[in-house]
Structure 1
């Protein structure tokens, strides 16, 4: 069954892997395509537009992909990655301004439940709401 895929773009592979592990804890017994494009080939800090485009391709089952990014240059790398994609894939991708961890967790739950791309992206944007409500 096609479902929305998720991609985590981070300068740090351990950070991205930890965020994905946390999100997967919310999905007991459910599968979801969550791909990581993080760090450099030699294990350093950085992002790679080619790796991001490959991750988007791997996460896309036809229902779209929501991409989460950690810092400003990750956003630029993700934007560049879109240029490497075919038009039909590119139009199914949402680059989310949501917070990386909170947005990813909420999006994963909704995507695993069969939510569409726009619903998954909207849920990600609500990621900070509980913290904001609690802290004022």
Structure 2
């Protein structure tokens, strides 16, 4: 199954978004948070992201969703260091993208489909 990692500057935000995505993935999707720095403060940590990717990777790859700024840079740095193309960063809104990705991952879809589902969340408007 494709795993999902939520990267945020806030541990609380990453954990909350992961919780919502897991529920929408009907308990089947593996969604790991990677929030805050290594000391629990606001920030990002490549080590926490690497640990989350390792925990989320069930063998079919991992989709990353990042909130902004250094979270995105951290995700890109991890992808550059990762071998192959088994880790993809979705250009998607954090929560909506995570929910769409988890819902798709729960069906057993492949990495490309889960990544596309996350990115499709950009097009879902909340108002007319």
Q: TM-score scaled to structure 1, two decimals?
A: 0.85
User: Partner of 1:123 in structure 2?
Assistant: 117
- How many Å separate the matches in 2 of 1:34 and 1:25? 10
Counterpart contact for 2:25–2:105, Cα < 8 Å? no
- How many Å separate the matches in 2 of 1:58 and 1:27? 17
Once superposed, which parts of structure 1, at least 4 consecutive aligned residues long, lie more than 4 Å away?
A: none
1:130: Cα distance to partner?
2.6
Aligned residue pair count: 128
Report which of the two structures shows the higher radius of gyration computed on alpha carbons: 1
User: Partner of 2:12 in structure 1?
Assistant: 14
Q: Structure 2 regions of 5+ residues with no counterpart?
A: none
What is the Cα-based RMSD across aligned positions, in Å?
Answer: 1.6
Equivalent position to 2:22, from 24, 27, 44: 24
Q: Structure 1 regions of 5+ residues with no counterpart?
A: none
Counterpart contact for 2:38–2:47, Cα < 8 Å? no
Q: TM-score scaled to structure 2, two decimals?
A: 0.90
Structure having the larger proportion of residues in helix: 1
3-state SS in 1 of match to 2:104: helix
